[in-house]
Amino acid sequence: LYVDHPLGAGQSVPLDRDQAHYLFGVMRLAVGAAVALFNGRDGEWQAEVAEAGKRGGVLACVAQSKPLQLPPDLWLLFAPIKKARTDFIVEKAAEMGAARILPVATDFTNSERIRQDRLQAHAVEAAEQCGGTYVPEVTELQKLAALLDHWPADRQLMFCDEAEVGQRLFLDSADSGAAAGPWAILIGPEGGFSPAERKRLHAMPHTHVVSLGPRILRADTAAVAAMTLWQHTLGD
Ligand code: SAM
């Protein structure tokens, strides 16, 4: 269970109404029952139900069962698309071990609004589902151009460029030499990237322009394919 509360030996964790409903109403747990907790920062802790009520309750931390396992330092930058597909991208990115998920507005982005809190909740659910101890941060929507203005000098960028179709698959042996350190993957919107964006991205140092194969993939498919290729080549 995810809780937004510090975890540690002897720590009491208060439960809100929804959590109490889930644990005591749906899961039918009673006082003394064991629950595994994580908060994305302190690893996984075994806890016991100390108080159980309809509107709340308290869990008492007993012992740490897993240390915090940080994913590789990989960001996923993507242009939001239709709501359900954007949800899918965030969920899969969290499952596949992105350290940070950054929605970006590009020249051809068709969706200019996101609900960051909803997307963050999807990332939490995905981390819960895969037994992770880490939850990637989902940032607010920001302009790709502004992000590139302050691009960290040490972060490699895997630029998935649909115009490179059939050219070169990520990552060849030369790229693998650049394996160490922080990375980011960039996936465009349904309309792809504008000529100005492509020109700028191609000219940036640390950009690795890659093809995801001979077919144009939908953005949500491309995000999963790109993360799979990255994890296969450079992940842990
Ligand atoms: N409208 C664009 C076109 O027809 O050229 C296609 C955009 S595609 C649906 C969305 C994004 O997925 C692209 O911007 C790119 O980042 C990624 N993508 C899809 N297929 C790709 C491929 N074969 N190689 C590299 N990137 C790809």
The domains found in the chain, sorted by start residue, are 12-66 (2.40.240.20), 74-234 (3.40.1280.10)
Among protein residues, the one with the nearest Cα to ligand 1's atom 14 is 188
Sheet of 34-38, strands arranged across: 12-15, 57-66, 44-52, 34-38
User: Is 161 a pocket residue for ligand 1 (Cβ < 6 Å)?
Assistant: yes
Q: Which pTM value belongs to this model?
A: 0.90
Q: Which residue has the tokens 């203005």?
A: 149
What does 144-205 look like in DSSP terms, one character per residue? Answer: HHHHHHT--TT-EEEEE-GGGTTT-BS--HHHHTT-SS-EEEEE--TT---HHHHHHHHHST
Question: Looking at residue 92, what is its pLDDT?
Answer: 97
Residue 37, preceding peptide bond in cis (omega within 30° of 0): no
* CB 217 less than 6 A from any atom of ligand 1: yes
- Residue 190 Cβ contacting ligand 1 at under 6 Å: yes
User: Is the dihedral angle over the CA atoms 184, 185, 191, 193 positive or is it negative?
Assistant: positive
pLDDT of residue 62: 97
Probe target for ligand 1 pocket from 162, 167, 170, 212, with the most ligand atoms within 8 Å of CB:
162
Ligand 1 within 6 A of 191 CB? yes
Nearest-angstrom CA–CA distance, 8 and 126: 23
Instruction: Locate the ligand 1 atom nearest the alpha carbon of residue 216 and give its number.
Output: 20
What pLDDT does residue 234 have?
82
79 lines ligand 1 (CB under 6 A): no
170 lines ligand 1 (CB under 6 A): no
CA of 200 to the centre of ligand 1 (A): 17
Does ligand 1 lie within 6 Å of residue 187's CB atom? yes
- For atom 6 of ligand 1, which residue has the closest CA? 192
Place of tokens 């070169």: 168
Q: What is the pLDDT of residue 143?
A: 95
What pLDDT is stored for residue 71 in this prediction? Answer: 92
Ligand 1 nearest-atom number relative to CA 190: 9
Distance CA 56, CA 58 (A): 7
Quickly list DSSP for the chain.
Answer: -B-SS---TT-EEEE-HHHHIIIIIIS---TT-EEEEE-SSS-EEEEEEEEE-SS-EEEEEEEEEE---PPPSEEEEE---SHHHHHHHHHHHHHTT-SEEEEEE-TT-S-----HHHHHHHHHHHHHHTT-S--PEEPPPEEHHHHHHT--TT-EEEEE-GGGTTT-BS--HHHHTT-SS-EEEEE--TT---HHHHHHHHHSTTEEEEB--SSPPPHHHHHHHHHHHHHHHH--
> Does the C-beta of 213 come closer than 6 Å to ligand 1?
yes
Centroid of ligand 1 to alpha carbon of 192 (angstroms): 6
- Ligand 1 pocket member 185 (CB < 6 A): no
- The rounded average pLDDT for each run of 10 residues, N- to C-terminus, in the chain (236 residues) is 95 96 96 96 96 96 95 96 94 96 93 89 94 94 96 93 71 55 94 96 89 91 94 82
Q: Which amino acid is at 194?
A: S
Check: CB of residue 44 under 8 Å from CB of residue 133.
Answer: yes
- CA dist 19 and 25 (Å) reads 9
